[in-house]
Amino acid sequence: MTEPLAGKAKRVRIYLDESDKIGRKSAYLAVVEFLRNANCAGATVFRGIEGFGGAGELHTDRIVDVLHKLPLVVEWVDSADRVDALLGRVKEMVVRGLITVEDMQIVLHTPHPVRRVTARVSAEDVMSRDVASVVRSTPVSRVVELLLGKTYRAVPVVENGIPLGIITNSDLVNRGGLNVRMELLPSLGSPEQISLMDRLAKNGKTAGEIMTPGPVTVHAAAPLPEVADMMARSRLKRLPVVDDQGRLAGMISRFDLLRSVAEAASTRESERPDVGLNGDMRLARIMRPDVPTVHPDTPVGEVMQAVVSTRLNRAVVVDGNRHVVGIVSDAELLERITPSLRPSALRSLMHRLPFVRQAPEEIATEHHAKARIAKDLMSADVSVATEDTALRDAIAAMVRDKQKLIAVVDRDKRLVGIVDRADVLRGLAYPV
């Protein structure tokens, strides 16, 4: 139990920004963990919405896709003796920043009678353990076979169990000779898939030739806030998890983090695991207002253009009042159009080019195609939430419905924005 503070005390304020690191951890996480382990009375992290430091560079949260350089303040209130005993160590930890100390008068302090000692959920607790890995000499065709039908889209390249590289979707497309993203591959017909795999087998490339070396990894004991911060900062969808010897222990993805938040939210408060991620933020704070939209009667060419216009690879279908009626994804589009149009569609999707029918048979077939407008291509299975929806509730819907994005609507159910897993992760990584 933490002893109540009474009378004179000290308040320490540690000014940082989100890009500061202490070792491999975010600086604010390292400081808070140190204070907690030292049995301090309490500490709180505040995130600023705007500010500048000694460099004079202005940092603001008004840009949706802002990099993590916003100002932070770790506020620590404790007895004078404890502050005096620990401040030296804090000063050693904080290489860059500002630390202030003020005398305070405590008029009320009623700590919880039992101090929670439950450890935070770590990467090891939520990671996928059944992860395929390859060695340098593994053929690229084998790498693609390992990824087919799997939920993850990356394969670590190991040597004696230690990750020395990773192969992602972009590696396979840019250097491996794969002319279609992995998530689009199942939408191709069997003859096209067989032809593609034969071509990969003949090119003779290996995992070592196309991998991205020096992959970002995370230790199995790392708490989820550190994992989320690392993913959001590096714009990564998944990370190899390593043990104390640096050997591959598993993989952790954005979906693993989201599922942990959803499961924690559905658990009774007294038994709720400490995931340490901020699920209270409202969707209005993280949504993107630039939503690619089409109407139910939009022609397939314009639908294709909307789908490839952003990194979402999707377009929301709305009616005349901007009410959400469906969604079109790149995979669904490729699967539902007539097979003879797939070559042109694939070129458009892979290279983000206008949809142009180049072959005479494509032009002739389009007149007889059944899927010619957005209504024929869309799925009505789309998650919708309001601007005031809490992040944890939106995540629960995402996980339950197995959706990669959520359409955000106002009180009149009109579309005003969209959030995908990257946006959600950024929201979770913000200091609470």
For residue 11, with 0-12 CB atoms within 10 Å meaning exposed, 13-18 middle and 19 or more buried, which class applies?
Answer: middle
Q: 1 pLDDT exceeds 50? A: no
Residues 284-330: pLDDT tens digits? 999 999 999 999 999 888 888 888 888 888 999 999 999 999 999 88
Which of 404, 229, 26 minimizes the C-alpha distance to 34? 26
Q: 114 pLDDT exceeds 50? A: no
Mean pLDDT of 142-151: 82
Beta bridge partners of 102: 11
Give me the half-sphere count of Cα atoms (radius 13 Å) on the Cβ side of residue 241.
24
Residues 325 and 294 in one domain: yes
pLDDT higher at 217 or 352: 217
Residues 401 and 314 in one domain: yes
pTM of the shown model? 0.67
- From edge to edge, which strands make up the β-sheet containing 7-17? 43-47, 71-78, 7-17, 98-106
Q: 85 pLDDT exceeds 50? A: yes
Res 325: pLDDT: 96
Residues 47 and 97 in one domain: yes
Can you tell me the distance from the alpha carbon of 72 to that of 69, in angstroms, rounded to the nearest whole number? 9
Q: Phi and psi at residue 282, in whole multiples of 5°? A: -85, 150
For 324, the 3-state DSSP assignment is: strand
Res 17: pLDDT: 82
Give domain status of residue 113, yes or no: no
Give domain status of residue 189, yes or no: yes
pLDDT-derived band at 362 (thresholds 50, 70, 90) equals: very low
Residues contacting 93, CB < 8 A, separation 6+: 22, 27, 30, 31, 34
Res 429: pLDDT: 79
* Beta-sheet strands, E only, within 304-414: 314-318, 324-329, 383-386, 405-409
Give domain status of residue 156, yes or no: yes
Residues 317 and 413 in one domain: yes
Q: Which residue has the tokens 């072959």?
A: 359
Look up the CATH number of the domain holding residue 412: 3.10.580.10
Res 320: pLDDT: 95
Give domain status of residue 114, yes or no: no
Res 108: pLDDT: 81
For 235, the 3-state DSSP assignment is: coil
pLDDT-derived band at 99 (thresholds 50, 70, 90) equals: very high
Count of domains in the chain?
3
Can you tell me the distance from the alpha carbon of 225 to that of 36, in angstroms, rounded to the nearest whole number? 15
Can you tell me the distance from the alpha carbon of 394 to that of 258, in angstroms, rounded to the nearest whole number? 10
Residues 25 and 54 in one domain: yes
CB 241 within 8 A of CB 249: yes
Residues 290 and 322 in one domain: yes
C-alpha torsion 101→102→103→106, nearest 10:
-100
Res 305: pLDDT: 85
Q: Which residue has the tokens 């030296």?
A: 88
Cα–Cα–Cα angle for 90, 96, 101, rounded to 5 degrees: 45
pLDDT-derived band at 192 (thresholds 50, 70, 90) equals: confident
Give domain status of residue 291, yes or no: yes
Can you tell me the distance from the alpha carbon of 127 to that of 138, in angstroms, rounded to the nearest whole number? 24
pLDDT higher at 329 or 386: 386
Q: Phi and psi at residue 316, in whole multiples of 5°? A: -90, 135
Mean pLDDT of 270-292: 82
Q: What tokens does 235 get?
A: 């714009």
Residues 368 and 240 in one domain: no
Least confident of 208-212, 221-225, 240-244: 221-225
Query: Which structural domain, as residue segments, surrounds residue 303?
Result: 283-429
Cα–Cα–Cα angle for 216, 220, 221, rounded to 5 degrees: 120
